[in-house]
Chain A
Amino acid sequence: MIEQYIPVFIVIIVAVIFAVATVVMSKLMGPQRPNSEKESTYESGLKPIGTTNERVSIKYYLVAMLFIVFDLEVIFVYPWAVQFKKLYSQIGISIFFSMLVFLVVLELGFLYVYKKGGFKWD
């Protein structure tokens, strides 16, 4: 069964050789005349200001956290939607209301975050 992976290994080997070769060859063959202009950080022709390690504002984390939580709930909706017709014929309308309850609870949480100012951007 390992034989089936031979093409994959070949691709990996070729990719590594190509990547290493390009970097090494350009170093070896290209002319090298460094000066201070060339060595400085490229900032679209402007003078570079400050460090590159800018601390990211906390607001992004807040939004990211809320995104994770509300985004993941959709994994419960997908299987439900895919199987809805089958389940509807088996169980009846209660399958619809069970998801409705889930979404109402979720939306209440969303509303809570909104009312508490979780989405304010200043």
Chain B
Amino acid sequence: MNEFYYIIPFIILAAGILISLVIEMYFTSSEKILPWFSILTFLASGFSALFLVNNVKVVFENMLMSGGNVNFFIFIFNLGAALVTLLSIDYIKKYHTYYGEYYILLMSSVLGMSLMAGAKDLIVIFMGLEIMSVCFYALAGINRNKLKANEASLKYFLLGSFATGFLVYGMALVYGSMQNTSLEYLFLNFTKFNTNILFLAGLLFILFGLSFKIAAFPFHMWVPDVYQGSATTVSALMSTGGKAAAFSAIIVSFASVLTVVNTNVFAPYFGAIAVFSMLFGSIVAIAQTDIKRMMAYSSIAHAGYMTIGLASGNSYGVSGIIFYLAAYTFMNIGAFGIISIVEGKNDTNLTIKSYAGLANKKPILAGLLAIIMFSLAGLPPFAGFFGKYYIFIAAVKAKLTWLAIVGVISSAISVYFYIRIIVLMYFKESEEDFVIENSNTGLLSVIIAVLFVILLGIAPNSVINLISYFAK
């Protein structure tokens, strides 16, 4: 029974989901209650995870892990989702489409992400991934009268479940070759199965399935369409929480190759998808005119940077990825938050040109967006710089200097399209005349995200020490 103490974050989240179902059923004014209730649940779950961070323990017959990195991930997911919920309050009013399910699905997807982060067994990874993905399929099309949203959710659903098919088949092959689905067992006996073709094929299939969720190069086709078509706030969560959860699943299931003990047999694969994702994302993003599509391609590029950490396969890489994910979560939620505030009714003001002259109209928004764009471009002293810095250091330590160099080149390319927006905001006159509605909750959420970006940029050592302390 004591085991339940260690999974309090999960229990709070699950109880919150059930209670909000009841609220949605019986209260006619659930539109006012539910967002605040879900923020409360996210914060309770997140801070209880932070409170329990020292209790590292594997519970429920080697199924779930609690404490350490896992709780750090859960904290990030919950904080990110709380910020997204704050953004959604005013965003949903813009489209006059309130569905109570929106917040319930948001909470369920965070539960799925938390399960993925804490997984110690292939079953738990699969369940977590599917809880998250099914919620995202529905969330992408939550605006069901909008054709673009329908199309985005159909594409996401078809391609996402295609990837799930690969994942499950890979898990079946891994189970068949090692007679077990425990990740602990995989970690300890990796060298024993190292030469088994069935086993390696299974792991590769699992990797295909997860690469899809992190939006890495050969499996990126859905990213621009889905980010563009679905609601901006949903894209914010998909690009941060979904990516972070998939990375945490890769880290736990490939922990055996990410230590110095074993040689990283997947290093060529990781290296290849890192190079292609970075270059492809950065170069294609330049050509975009729609800001959400641009952010989508930048998200592909960022997946590439993080994959460098996997290719380097040491503990520096792992803690670098976790830091990067934390930084990226706040940067992207901030960026999508500002996009959702600037966005007008019926998908207007979504082109890059809409941002011309923003500094005159809304100086605060422009300043916040400038900080986020500097951070995304990887300029010091913001969080994005240190994220890339730790990843590149890990690559150099793993004697993959060429990968770090490609990463630097790609970030240099990406500076162009991030800075272009800043130039537009400050040095160009507005061509279209439109009014940006005020959104106090949205602005609050963006400010919190930017504060975290600055905090992680100014004091990265405290965070990285904390992470590497648990990464052991």
Contact = CB atoms under 8 A, between A and B. Distances in A.
B22 interface: yes
B66 to A, nearest CB: 19
B25 A105 contact: no
B18 A108 contact: yes
B21 A112 contact: yes
B150 to A, nearest CB: 15
B1 interface: yes
B104 to A, nearest CB: 9
A43 to B, nearest CB: 38
Nearest to B18: A108
A94 B1 contact: yes
B1 A112 contact: no
A115 interface: yes
Nearest to B104: A112
A48 interface: no
Contacts of B26: 115
B24 interface: yes
A108 B26 CA distance: 12
Given A105-B18, A108-B18, A115 B1 contact: no
Contacts of A115: 25-26
A111 B25 contact: yes
B105 to A, nearest CB: 13
A105 B19 CA distance: 11
A90 B215 CA distance: 46
Contacts of B22: 108
Interface string A87-122: 000000010000000000100110110011000000
A18 B198 CA distance: 45
Nearest to A113: B25
A108 B21 contact: yes
Interface in B409-447: none
Interface in B11-60: 18, 21-22, 24-26
Interface string A43-58: 0000000000000000
A115 B26 CA distance: 8
A111 B26 CA distance: 11
Contacts of B1: 94
Q: Which among A105, A109, A112, A116 has the greatest number of chain B C-beta atoms within 10 A?
A: A112
Contacts of B18: 105, 108
A109 B18 CA distance: 9
Contacts of A105: 18
B344 to A, nearest CB: 31
A109 B22 CA distance: 10
B281 to A, nearest CB: 37
Nearest to A101: B14
Contacts of B21: 108-109, 112
A38 to B, nearest CB: 46
A95 to B, nearest CB: 13
A72 to B, nearest CB: 14
Contacts of A112: 21, 24-25
Nearest to B25: A115
Nearest to B26: A115
Contacts of B24: 112
Interface in B189-229: none
Interface string A74-97: 000000000000000000001000
A94 B26 CA distance: 31
A39 to B, nearest CB: 43
A51 to B, nearest CB: 28
Interface string B57-76: 00000000000000000000
A15 to B, nearest CB: 34
Contacts of A116: 25
A109 B24 CA distance: 12
A122 B166 CA distance: 41
Interface of B: 1, 18, 21-22, 24-26
13 contacts: A94-B1, A105-B18, A108-B18, A108-B21, A108-B22, A109-B21, A111-B25, A112-B21, A112-B24, A112-B25, A115-B25, A115-B26, A116-B25
Given A112-B21, A115-B25, 7 more contacts: A105-B18, A108-B18, A108-B21, A109-B21, A111-B25, A112-B24, A115-B26
List the 6 closest A-B pairs by CB distance, nearest first. A115-B25, A112-B21, A108-B21, A112-B25, A108-B18, A105-B18
